[in-house]
Chain A
Amino acid sequence: MTDVNTLTLAEARDAVQAKEISALELTQAHLAAMEKARALNAYVVETPEKALDMAKASDARIASGDAGPLEGLPLGIKDLYATQGVHMQACSHVLDGFKPQYESTVTSQLWRDGAVLLGKLNMDEFAMGSSNETSYYGPVASPWLPANWDAAQGREALKGDKKGLLVPGGSSGGSAAAVAAHLCLGATATDTGGSIRQPAAYTGTVGIKPTYGRCSRWGIAAFASSLDQAGPIARTVRDNAILLRSMAGHDAKDSTSVDMAVPDYEAAVGRSIKGKKIGIPKEYRIDGMPAEIESLWQQGIDWLRAAGAEIVDISLPYTKTALPAYYIVAPAEASSNLARYDGVRYGLRVPGKDIASMYENTRAEGFGHEVRRRIMIGTYVLSAGYYDAYYVRAQKIRTLIKRDFELAYANGIDAILTPATPSAAFGIGEKTSADPVEMYLNDVFTVTVNMAGLPGIAVPGGLSAQGLPLGLQVIGRPFDEETLFSVAEVIEQSAGRIKLPQAWW
């Protein structure tokens, strides 16, 4: 079999379990694809030796009849996850040389179920960004070429500063790019304000942010603890369902992890949505929204109606407050969480004349521009005299945002359909010099979901006039990821699986 790396995760699983291909073959195909795609910069570290060892162990388990649900399936892991003895730096300079002595709960569950580690994926530094351009390791190029570009032009740009090529989105840009470019069957990602769903939408892949508490955060570098959630990015809805089942579950080491049974999410893929009430929130029809996003949304509505769902117009009046409130809550929590990077216990140390200047020099040099900015704004809104005016007010607004959704669900709404992003992917370098707020607006449709702790899935709905992927988002009730998988599958089937780019790199 050729090009086994282009199989979906579900297809690869079935082929491996049926012994049609070996885990080793599958892993080797991915390692070869990764080697050819290094210029995209999706991986910051490749772990071929570990991958081959894990694949051989998988083949042994398959032979002895002990295969796990993810046996022999090669995955990429976002650099935010602790992987024992393997590079983990949250793509920051401040964690230089850090090799955790422990494994994150989510990745340990993937290995428990037989998955294979291919390497660590690029991301925005500490997950702060929407384009993967804040990474200490440089930007990731999307495998999608800009309109009217040929392969040679793309390769030329990869040799230089990548300007003009497209961003894969962020912060999980390496995850999304690697999945779209067939450099892994699936990837782990994290989502604090849209960092799974926005890059999935930009790259024509599928990504789910589960309900807050569904996956353990233990061993994942913290950005904003009350918003962060782990989730997968993969090429299909079914692949997401398979991965989430392994990633989710209660963990005593994360006090916010919920002690609830994990359903067989795959069983929800293909389940009828007849009679489901789908809410269409009028506040998501924002000023200046491109016509193609409007028509994508309408197309999604038509597909769900055709599948027997009941479409209901709803109102979520506090929607527009979510993004500014997020930019108080998230930096405040970040400023506290990132206080630990001080040059004492791990990572970079820049000397100073005394201990205080050692801290200050380490943090000034170790953190990139965006991270420093967010720590400072967070420090300000938590400082004496401003705490009530900013932080407490933002947390009150968060209560109101959540109440909007609770009212909709109390009125019988099963899920909510919105666009995933306000536009298709933009170019590398296009939004970096201007006002930071311009970049933040990318997350306008996704951030409400984090503020309310709800699950949300992004699934490709079609292509823009420029031929770039556009995503739809389905938002669900707390812990009802199953309905999201059912609804997203209807969208995927109706839209037809998106044709990912051929390797031009």
Chain B
Amino acid sequence: MSVDLATVRRIAHLARIALRDDEAPHVQQELNAMLAFVEELNAVDVDGVEPMTSVIPMRLPLRQDVVTDHAGADVITANAPGAEDHFFVVPKVVE
């Protein structure tokens, strides 16, 4: 399987990575090289094989739904590129 330029642009948008028009053909070539590399997996017979969900057999632990380590809003927003009054600031999203 290989991807065309329109698909490359769609993937880039899904991944939220800006892609310049002049970069797209190179990215297409690289993605197709990787897809060619994984192509051999199509020859493996996987009928009746369960897909792996956990590499070590274990039961996922449950805990009480309570706050365990509330660090405080100062700490949570300390590294934000834009923060005001304990809120993350982003460009306007509603008119």
Interface residues of A (CB under 8 A from B): 97-102, 211-213, 226, 252, 255-256, 258, 318, 320-321, 324-325, 327-328, 335, 339, 342-349, 351-352, 354-361, 363-364, 367, 372-373, 375-377, 379-380, 383, 389-390, 392-400, 402, 435-437, 440, 451-453, 478
Contact = CB atoms under 8 A, between A and B. Distances in A.
Overall SS of chain A's interface: helix
30 contacts: A98-B79, A100-B79, A226-B54, A258-B58, A324-B37, A324-B41, A347-B79, A355-B90, A355-B93, A359-B16, A367-B17, A372-B17, A373-B31, A376-B8, A376-B17, A380-B7, A380-B11, A383-B11, A393-B46, A394-B41, A396-B49, A398-B55, A399-B49, A399-B51, A402-B52, A402-B55, A436-B30, A437-B34, A437-B37, A453-B55
Interface in B39-88: 39-42, 44, 46, 49-56, 58, 60-61, 63, 71, 75-82, 88
Nearest to A339: B16
Given A101-B75, A102-B71, A345-B80, A364 B49 contact: no
Contacts of A400: 44, 46, 49
B19 interface: yes
B93 to A, nearest CB: 5
Contact of A97 (B41, B49, B79): B79
Nearest to B88: A344
Contact of B37 (A99, A327, A343): A327
A435 B49 CA distance: 32
A226 B46 contact: no
A391 to B, nearest CB: 8
Nearest to B72: A101
Given A101-B76, A252-B63, 12 more contacts: A99-B79, A101-B71, A255-B61, A256-B56, A358-B91, A376-B12, A380-B3, A393-B41, A396-B52, A400-B46, A402-B52, A436-B30
A390 B51 CA distance: 12
A269 to B, nearest CB: 25
A360 B16 contact: yes
Contact of A396 (B51, B76, B77): B51
A343 B79 CA distance: 11
Nearest to A338: B15
Contacts, number: 162
Nearest to B13: A360
B15 to A, nearest CB: 4
Contacts of A397: 41, 44, 46, 49
Contacts of B82: 349
Given A324-B37, A347-B79, A399-B51, A213 B58 contact: yes
A299 to B, nearest CB: 32
Contacts of B6: none
A435 B33 contact: yes
A102 B1 CA distance: 44
Contact of B79 (A346, A383, A396): A346
A119 B76 CA distance: 24
Contact of B91 (A255, A352, A377, A437): A352
B17 A360 contact: yes
Contact of B34 (A256, A343, A436, A453): A436
Contact of B27 (A335, A376, A402, A435): A376
A255 B60 contact: yes
Contacts of A327: 34, 37-38
Nearest to B14: A379
A120 to B, nearest CB: 16
A397 B46 CA distance: 7
List 5 tightest A-B contacts by C-beta distance, closest first: A453-B55, A395-B51, A349-B81, A364-B18, A360-B18
B91 A355 contact: yes
B18 A321 contact: no
B52 A398 contact: yes
Nearest to B93: A355
Nearest to A211: B56
A59 B34 CA distance: 53
Nearest to A374: B34
A370 to B, nearest CB: 10
B88 to A, nearest CB: 5
Nearest to A450: B55
A478 B56 contact: yes
A361 B3 contact: no
A399 B16 contact: no
B80 A344 contact: yes
Interface in B18-39: 18-19, 27, 30-31, 33-35, 37-39
A435 B39 CA distance: 16
Contacts of B16: 339, 342, 356, 359-360, 363
Contacts of A328: 38, 41
A436 to B, nearest CB: 6
Contact of B17 (A324, A375, A394, A399): A375
Contacts of A367: 17
A325 B56 contact: no
A67 B83 CA distance: 43
A390 B53 CA distance: 15
A201 B51 CA distance: 32
B37 A392 contact: no
